[in-house]
């Protein structure tokens, strides 16, 4: 018998959970100062707003067997929030309700994710790139011994490294667009060889986020309250002991994806002339700033910088393919933009030095 889908906490049930953990008071309910809203996406997310004090986000997995990921995320938040050097880069962690499998975090006002920031006309700046690099450097510098023995730290490489070798089981549940993408990857031997090589040389040497993408970064809105940390990193469900070059590669890939989105000839979906006019120049400046700041924050040994960068870029290439795959999860056919991502990936995987020099503008950045 197929497992039943786990029951989500209803909007009404959020209040008793918060009362149980003394995060709201009965008097605030009587005065009608608490509002509960559904903000669900992949997980069941409930926002609890108040007239005074912190707002809350109640996060719960919705599928059987997936509650362990939210429980692990709670463990990560608990550990990292106790580290003074890293805690400012997190949203506030309150508790994990084991009875209902609910993670309770602060819903931060005055911040939006980087995807929304850029889509609403915000610029890709060197300041943002340096801040992202600094946070990743701090994360990768954490002594994993401080995280505790009870925190699961899976060290498996990213699943995308095995995309060209799908299991029969995985093929049953994918879209026609995904299947077409897999066939396209399999038709490029150099890409398949590169994916095999990256899997073979995966080095789980640091604590990594594993799902770096712009939608997982919060940035302070213009005019936000003073003292608000400029950037925060979200969604720690897949955090693990892994290869820091994967996080770096994913951060670099986001810049390439943003640039491609502004190129109509590449199937890009942002047609505003003002957005695309200087996209390549801004991307190069941002990527140079990111790489220079990360080298200082980590730091990367000077003798190994080129190899580290090349492997990070190859991971960026793999992340481009992953983005295309995620884009096609409900598609009947592969689209033009996904083909562009695959072409960029193939070029990066074949020629990482040329990608560093020409595509990413990293010449002279070390």
pLDDT at 32 > cutoff 50: yes
Task: Give the residue among 63, 141, 71, 64 at the shortest CA–CA distance from 104.
Answer: 71
Q: Which of 69, 93, 97 is nearest to 81 (CA)?
A: 93
For residue 123, what pLDDT is reported? 86
Q: What is the pLDDT of residue 141?
A: 93
Strand (E) or helix (H) holding 148: none
In the structure encoding, which two tokens stand for residue 83, read together? 């580290």
Structure confidence at residue 301 (pLDDT)? 76
Q: What is the CA radius of gyration of the chain?
A: 21
| Lowest mean pLDDT segment, chosen from 65-74, 119-128, 140-149, 219-228 | 219-228
| CA–CA distance, 212 with 98 (Å, rounded to integer) | 27
Q: What is the largest CA-CA distance in the chain?
A: 66
Encoded tokens for 53: 């004090």
d(CA 205, CA 225): 38
Of 95, 321, 44, 83, nearest to 192 by C-alpha is: 321
The span from the CA of 21 to the CA of 32, in Å, is 19
CA 33 and chain centroid, separation: 34
CA distance 42 to 40: 7
Task: Kindly state the average pLDDT of the residues 225-234.
Answer: 71
pLDDT for the residue numbered 53: 85
Which has more confidence, 153 or 198? 198
Which runs of E-coded beta strand occur in 224-307? 231-233, 240-242
Is residue 250 scored above 50 in pLDDT? Answer: yes
Helix (H, G, I), strand (E, B) or coil at 27: helix
What share of the chain in percent tops pLDDT 90? 62
Average pLDDT, the chain: 88
Look at residues 213, 360, 217, 214 and name the one whose alpha carbon lies nearest to residue 288: 360
Please name the residue that has the structure tokens 């799902």.
211
Of the candidate CATH numbers 3.40.50.2020, 3.90.1200.10, 3.40.50.300, 3.30.230.80, the domain formed by 111-359 belongs to 3.90.1200.10
- Lowest mean pLDDT, pick from 2-6, 72-76, 142-146: 2-6
Spelled out in words, what is the top-level CATH class assigned to the domain 11-106? alpha beta
Buried b (16+ CB within 10 A) or exposed e, 328-365: beeeeebbebbbbbbebbbbbbbbbeebbeebbbbeeb
Sign of CA dihedral 196, 198, 201, 202: negative
| Helix 244-261 with 305-327: angle, nearest 10 deg | 60
Q: What is the pLDDT of residue 64?
A: 54
Look up tokens 């450097």; give the residue: 137
CA atoms within 13 A on the CB side of 24: 27
Query: According to the model, what pLDDT value does residue 224 have?
Result: 53
The residue ranking higher by pLDDT, 314 or 168, is 314
116-127 average pLDDT score: 88
Q: From the centroid of its chain, how far is CA 281?
A: 24
pLDDT of residue 152: 65
Q: How far is CA 282 from CA 54, 127, 236, 353, in A?
A: 36, 12, 29, 20
Cβ-based neighbours of 142, under 8 Å, separated by 6 or more: 80, 83, 86, 206, 207
Task: Tell me: pLDDT of 43 over 80.
Answer: no
How is the beta sheet containing 34-38 ordered, strand by strand?
34-38, 44-50, 56-60, 102-106, 93-97
Q: Which pairing describes strands 102-106 and 217-220: parallel, antiparallel, or unpaired?
A: unpaired
Q: What is the pLDDT of residue 51?
A: 83
The pTM score is: 0.91
CA distance 91 to 98: 20
CB atoms within 10 A of CB 180: 18
Give the residue extent of every domain in the chain. Answer: 11-106, 111-359
pLDDT tens track for 66-119: 557 888 899 999 999 999 999 999 999 999 999 889 999 999 988 999 999 988
pLDDT, one tens digit per residue, over 273-327 is 445 557 888 999 999 999 999 999 887 777 788 999 999 999 999 999 999 999 9
Give dist(CA 209, CA 246) in Å, integer.
9
The predicted structure's pLDDT at residue 365: 59
């Amino acid at each position: 018998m197929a497992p039943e889908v786990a029951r989500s906490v209803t909007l009404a049930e959020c209040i008793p959970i918060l009362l149980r953990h003394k995060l709201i008071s009965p008097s605030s309910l009587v005065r009608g100062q608490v509002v509960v809203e559904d903000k669900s996406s992949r997980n069941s997310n409930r926002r609890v707003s108040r007239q005074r004090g912190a707002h809350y986000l109640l996060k719960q997995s919705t599928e059987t067997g997936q509650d362990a990921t939210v429980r692990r995320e709670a463990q990560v938040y608990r550990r990292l929030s106790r580290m003074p050097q890293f805690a400012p880069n997190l949203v506030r962690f309150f508790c994990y309700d084991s009875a209902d499998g609910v993670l309770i975090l602060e819903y931060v006002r005055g911040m939006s994710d980087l995807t929304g920031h850029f889509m609403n006309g915000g610029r890709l700046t060197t300041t943002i790139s340096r801040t992202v690099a600094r946070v990743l450097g701090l994360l990768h510098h954490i002594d994993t011994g401080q995280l505790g023995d009870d925190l699961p730290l899976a060290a498996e490489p990213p699943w995308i490294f095995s995309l060209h070798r799908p299991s029969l089981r995985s093929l049953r549940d994918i879209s026609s667009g995904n299947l077409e993408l897999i066939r396209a990857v399999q038709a490029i031997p150099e890409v398949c060889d590169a994916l095999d090589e990256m899997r073979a040389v995966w080095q789980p040497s640091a604590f990594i986020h594993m799902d770096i993408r712009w939608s997982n970064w919060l940035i302070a809105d213009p005019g936000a309250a003073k003292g608000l940390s400029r950037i925060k990193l979200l969604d720690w469900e897949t955090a693990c002991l892994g290869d820091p070059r994967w996080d770096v590669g994913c951060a670099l890939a986001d810049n390439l994806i943003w640039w491609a989105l502004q190129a109509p000839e590449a199937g890009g979906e942002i047609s505003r002339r003002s957005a695309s006019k200087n996209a390549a120049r801004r991307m190069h400046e941002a990527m140079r700033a990111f790489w220079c700041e990360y080298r200082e924050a980590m730091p990367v040994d000077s003798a190994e910088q080129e190899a580290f960068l090349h492997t990070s870029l190859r991971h960026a290439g793999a992340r481009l393919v992953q983005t295309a795959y995620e884009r096609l999860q409900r598609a009947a056919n592969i689209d033009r933009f996904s083909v562009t991502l695959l072409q960029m990936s193939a070029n990066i995987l074949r020629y990482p030095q040329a990608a560093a020099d020409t595509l990413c503008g990293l010449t002279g950045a070390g």
